Structure 1
Amino acid sequence: MRRRWSMPYGYKLILPYVVCLLLAVGTVGLFAYSHSVNSLKQKTRENIQGTLQQMRDNITYRTDNIERISSTLYYNFNLQSALRRYDQGWYSYETMTKTLMPALENLLNYTASNVGLSLYLENDSIPELYYSEIGPNPLLSTKRYEIFHLQRIRGEDWYHDLVAPEAKTGAGQWRQILRDEENGNISLIQRMDDIQKQRSIGLIRVTVQMQDLLDSVDYRKIGEYATLVVTDRSGRVVLESSPEGAEAASLQSAGNRLQLSEPLEGIGWELQAYIPNSLFDESASEVRRMTLLVCLASALVLACLGIGVSSYFSRRIQKIVGSLNAFHDGDFHKRIKYKGNDELAQIAVAFNRMGSNIEELIHQNYVADLQKKEAELESLQAQINPHFLYNTLSSINRLAQFGDIPKLHTLVQELAKFYRLSLNRGGIITTVGNEIEHAKAYIAIQGIKYGERMSVYYDIDPGVLEYTTVKLILQPMIENVLEHAWFGSTIGIRLVAEKREDSIIFKIIDNGVGMNADTIRQILAPEGTRIGYGIRNVDSRIKLHGGSEYGVLIASRSGIGTCVQITIPCRL
């Protein structure tokens, strides 16, 4: 009958504790994770907002610098006095060379950036001074100043907005006029007034490259996936800094991004940042991993404490269960030691008495079975072909008759080595090195018989020589080759020994007649009796010693040759 499963006593004690532990740790972990993620998002928003403010301050510093240049001209009373006079001739030349041009040059030297300084004057007695507008943006390579007559721009819409009655006196406007947008520039335009007479005497225009003004706007200061956009008063994108392939229009309408902004009050623009939620998701994933690790560590510590408490109450029962499991695994020396005279102590005494009786019975059966297996091994070894000895003695007799003393000496030495290694003081276990030496002794004996008709090659891994093996597993295979594998008048044999993971592999390879698959099946058949007795003998001894996963395998093709593989366990 199938035995019904029942929960161990210790588990019954620990299970409610574990359930409550998981609920408590899970609740605390979920709260900590939610709070940490919210704090992280808030901190990230603050950091990004702080970066935007730094960019805004940098831009403000640059615009203030440009506005200081314009204000310096605006409040230059000597310049205003010179521009109020409309005298021709020498006075006009002197105003140009000694007042106007030095003032403009000093202002250009005041700034490190390449700027363009232009004056549009009501006073047409002062000659114009300007450069040709043909070619690339001139501010890319130099600073310069120009002087124009105001009549050149009277028809421009932006000029009318600047001189309109409601326009604030002395206030400048940032605009892209004339060729600014084409050249990537922007200009600060300020009306130049005669403060004493309260009338306009011209226009100041300070032009700077958009790149110089907004060079601090770089998306990489926020993150590799962020996008920065500068928009003008109408919402038009003036500058965009974003990873390659991103488009500002799609970013502004995307719902999976965080949008932050900072006003650029000096020029009336706005700096906007678009941060993908994936950046927050990556940070949230890191927090989630850390929270999970802390929860797991806490759960592990608390679980260990719970297990300790549970084991304290269930230790006596676990001793009995552990002893029973030890008996099940074959350890019959296990005994239970209890102090006291309660029911569990009485069970322990009875259990110990039962264990002693079972161990004695098993020992008796084990010894008997071991003696039986050793007898089977000795019987299998005794069945090795005895004709080899008779044939070798006959060869010794013939060599003695012919007077071939060197060969006779070699044959006797190898025969002595062969039987010394074969007998192995009565043991059935030998080293791999001795087994290979035994095979070499057999091959040397047969080499005297066959001479140059037989060639043998060795491929031995020195690392396998110290391991142990059942003896007499190689010689029968070589003997089988010499008896059945001849193909013509010569035969070649290769002996291989190598270590592969936890096994040692021997290979006896010949270039003989080979055999078909049916012959191989008959040789390896457990009940086979007609052929392959020596191979089955080796296979049986290896399996009896090492287990069913070891033994002999044969691969062969008729007319090509045969490979016999022997696998034994690695044991020292």
Structure 2
Amino acid sequence: MRRMLNVPFGYKLIVPYVLCLLVAVLTVGMFAYAHSVNTLREKTRENIQGTLQQIRDNIRYRTDDVERISKMLYYNYSLQSALRRYEQGWYSYETMTKTLMPALENLLNYTASNIGLSLYLQNDTLPELYYTDIDQNPLFSIKRYEIYHLKRIQETDWYRGLEFSGSMADQRIWRQILRDESYGNISLLQRLDDVHRGQNIGLVRVTVQISDLLDSVDYHKIGEYTTLEVLDGSGNVVLESAPEAEGLKGSRTGNRLLLSEPLDGLGWELRAYIPNSLFDESANNVRRMTLIVCLISAFVLAFLGIGVSSYFSRRIQKIVGSLNAFRDGDFQKRIHYKGNDELAQIAAAFNRMGSNIEELIHKNYVAGLQKKEAELESLQAQINPHFLYNTLSSINRLAQFGDIQKLHILVQELAKFYRLSLNRGEILTTVGKEIEHAKAYIAIQCIKYGNRLSVYYDIDPAALDYMTVKLILQPMLENALEHAWFGSTIGIRLVVEKRETDIVFKIIDNGVGMNADTIEQILATEGPRIGYGIRNVDSRIKLHGGNGYGVAIASRSGIGTCIQITIPCRM
């Protein structure tokens, strides 16, 4: 296979540049006069079209801001839950004052736009809230939200004529209803549904002034003698912007260019009427300068080509080098260009991308840690609370029998047990403290069971200073004392040893043991499960150390059980 020739980017840039330059000079020299007017006209048309698109985008931003308000109300699940309950009296008052009214107040404060909110609710147990001043635009009142019962409008023509389409969350219609037209307003109508049950629970109306939505419609942005207008779905003019109000008649006819852009969502259309004289004056200047520019450009650009090629080649190589650094995982690489050209914009976008990637990695890392910490706290909170009750019962019995020595030991060990359990609110503890916690638990149980319980310890001192998730030994010891009795006595052996990268705990008993089916049910991730305490410990260890660590069980019926807990060595 032939090896492809590696041509530097600078040569690839200069050769096509020179060829295109020659072709361009010849082409412009031959056809400039014939095509200059059309070229300028098309360029100006594109610029004006781009300006119209910007105006359209500004309007779309305003409508999106209003639609975002209705979406926030639509997905307010606590509000939906409150509106589903048909109860009068105190509940109705509490729903209005603590749920519904604060939700509407927050939505009004969410946006800087001057909007009005109206809710029409199926739940007629809630009181209505509205204002009777019919001579004032509701958008200029102090309170800009109202609450009605839906039955007020169910028989109106405008409500019957609503035809929502699409998904439940996207069922929104822009329309002038009630007094909107007289006040120069328009309303966004949004179904209010019970998201979980798929039932309609009301209607949301967000009202905004048309002048606020269309404040970016200004003929100065296009040019002098230009007319801008917005037409509704019926072809009626909603708003006009022109240099002179007297000159609007006939401004849409004659020797003028028409450009338009649809206003999505509203169902309206933005139009611009540009006089052709705007193009003719510039075209004459282009005709005069075309030949001179072509001749001079052919010589000047030929000499500048090499310098330009070298300049951009160095800048491109800078970008390529930074991209290669990103590919290798170095997201701290940055590009610094002077100026405001396209490559500088690419560099700025590249730098922003690097910063965003670093920030996202950090946020995901922190969010993962917070999630694991919350899950650990939730799992640890579920440790069996009956132990305290049973111990207090034992203390009560010892007090009744007057066994002060055992009572003193029991209270002392119980205090130590809960001091180590609380661990100042920390999730992690040292292996040494975890063993000390287990010994405190065993000391309490030895007072309860007496000579029937025998416990042996085999502890590797090298493992004591390493970190572990707290409360992993006590549930295993408690499980053995609850389920492993074989006869009237039981023996338990606690082994702790440090290996190369792991620390292994073993809780060995000589009890009744378990069969393979029981072990499988204890460690199963699906279906009916038993042995909550063991799964609790296994889940917490996996959250802390990963799926390679956790609990393993070996047992034979009538012989005994060995529960092995493996954690990573971490100081």
Q: Same fold (TM over 0.5)?
A: no
Q: How does the TM-score come out when normalised to structure 1?
A: 0.44
Q: How does the TM-score come out when normalised to structure 2?
A: 0.44
Larger Rg: 1
